[in-house]
Structure 1
Amino acid sequence: MLKKTFPALLTACLLSACITSPTGRSQLVFMPDTQIDQMGLQAFDNLKKQKPVSTNSQYNQVASCIAGAITRETGGNWEVVVFEDASPNAFALPGNKIGVHTGMLTLVDNQDQLAAVIGHEIGHVLAKHSNERASQEMAVSSGMGIIQAVSAPQTVLGQTALGMLGVGAQYGILMPYSRVHESEADMIGVDLMAKAGFDPRQSVGLWQKMEQASQGKQPIEFMSTHPSHATRIQDLEKRMPQAMGLFQQAQAQGKQPRCN
């Protein structure tokens, strides 16, 4: 009976599941946000058990200060954790969780570049990219077990579920965000950092540094789910007039973060 009724229920969900992202893109999203948030909370708890948390007071202060300034623009209570990990990375998960690697803190030159990273990651959450990918997966495979799988990250299904949340391939997960999601998060992130009073021009500087750090190891764009660094820089430069307008408004309102 379930096999007969589930396709009909799924079709009904799909017909009412189109929403619009913050950039105006049409999305297929039909999983309850509460379930996606619970997956994010579980994943974050697992990460805190698996990875050492930094006790460096300066790192924690800087990350919390920058994330706090940005999340005041989005609302909600966000938890920020700095992980002892030399890889230059950061992530945000549904349920308002932000993780920053010590390797990212040592890579960036200033607070504005780190704001670009954190704004980008928060952009993924605001745009419901995790829900979108989970909804697409369920629509294709009817994989109801995905929801519970995040509690067993050592399994293949668990890794797939974590990948949908955007935790990233550095944890053994092979499902990075798509190029569309990455580009969209770039645009949302640069606007967010500007609204919070961080200089959006430093987002370009960030990706120039990331390009240098990759030392030519990044795969060519059509073989990767991520845009090339050059493409990201070009797209950010196109967005810059709008972001600079937001930055100037923030400065006029007295938003001048001092997190260094």
Structure 2
Amino acid sequence: MNKVFKYTSIALLGVTLAGCSTVPLTGRKQLSLVSDSQIEQQAAASYKEFLGSSKTKVITGTSNAALVKKVGNNIAAAVNRYLSSQGLANQYNFNWEFNLIQSDEVNAWCMPGGKVAVYSGILPITLNETGLATVMGHEIAHAIAKHSAEQMSNQMLLQTGGQIVGAVTADQSMAVRSGVNLLYGVGGQIGMLKYSRSNESEADRLGLIFMAMAGYNPGEAVKFWERMSNGKASGTPEFLSTHPSDARRISDIQKLIPEAQKYYKK
């Protein structure tokens, strides 16, 4: 059993060292095994297909639609200025798009390459421009931190590890092989959830900084997340959730605000 994990660890270490990148501002090292250009092309195609779907209603010509574009462009411009000042602009060839989607769903997202969708169902919770900046800053942070590519890379590494485990235990008994594969599979999937939670927390941190760079007071972000939680407790244990608990997220954001305030200019 020890040999299995020894060989697997050595092999996975080699793969990990071969593809690493650094997240702006946080300085965190992340696994990067996929091409940025490839994933951004795929995202652009998916975004275009999404907007053109008969099931998708893009809202145009309204004050809310204009506000989504205004806030998105403000944050994108601020982020681009920061990246340029750090000599990182060549790593982010984003073609930004911001659209408001008619849907009761409380949601918003940003694909790799800067393809953003805000669902109208979240607007009663954002309430105002700063609340919207909180949401869009968070979602844009996921794209700048390249979390989608990181998650794909982690899944690739997990699959590679599973293949190695299968090869190393090929001459073991069925009981040993089943036990190892079960342990690796369960441990690996919980690990993926941990990565998702850490990505969410990192997006919270970066999102506060990005909204501050764009001229929005990050101190107002807590109000949005309090409205978002609405006093509802999740029935899923936090260690099995892809998001931090509402209480932890709000507590962590309160601690992060002083850092973000350094970037805030009205």
TM range (shorter): 0.7 to 0.9
Q: What residue is the counterpart of 1:165 in the other structure?
A: none
Tell me how far apart the structure 2 counterparts of residues 39 and 12 of structure 1 sit (CA, whole Å).
28
Tell me how far apart the structure 2 counterparts of residues 239 and 78 of structure 1 sit (CA, whole Å).
27
Would the aligned equivalents of 1:177 and 1:226 in 2 still touch at CA under 8 Å? no
- Gaps in structure 1 of 5+ consecutive residues: 1-8, 143-174, 252-260
What is the CA RMSD across the aligned residues, in angstroms? 2.4
TM-score (norm 2): 0.72
Q: Percent identity?
A: 36
Q: What residue is the counterpart of 1:169 in the other structure?
A: none
Q: Does 1:244 align with 2:261?
A: yes
Aligned 1:1-260 pairs, distance under 5 A: 14-22=16-24, 23-48=26-51, 49=53, 50-55=55-60, 57-75=62-80, 76-141=94-159, 178-212=196-230, 215-217=232-234, 219-247=236-264, 250-251=265-266
Would the aligned equivalents of 1:201 and 1:240 in 2 still touch at CA under 8 Å? yes
- Gaps in structure 2 of 5+ consecutive residues: 1-10, 81-93, 161-192
Shift of 1:61: 0.4
Shift of 1:46: 2.5
Higher share of residues assigned helix: 2
Larger Rg: 2
Tell me how far apart the structure 2 counterparts of residues 137 and 222 of structure 1 sit (CA, whole Å).
19
Which stretches of structure 1, 4 residues or more, deviate above 6 A after TM superposition? 9-12
Shift of 1:13: 5.5
16-25 vs 188-197, which deviates more?
16-25
Shift of 1:177: 7.4
Distance 1:15 1:177, change over 3 A: closer
Number of positions where the alignment pairs a residue of Structure 1 with one of Structure 2 = 209
Can you list the C-alpha shifts for 1:53-85, whole angstroms capped at 9, x where unaligned?
123511110100101110001224410111111
Shift of 1:96: 1.4
Tell me how far apart the structure 1 counterparts of residues 124 and 74 of structure 2 sit (CA, whole Å).
20
Distance 1:93 1:116, change over 3 A: same
Tell me how far apart the structure 2 counterparts of residues 177 and 117 of structure 1 sit (CA, whole Å).
20
Secondary structure of the equivalent of 1:178?
A: helix
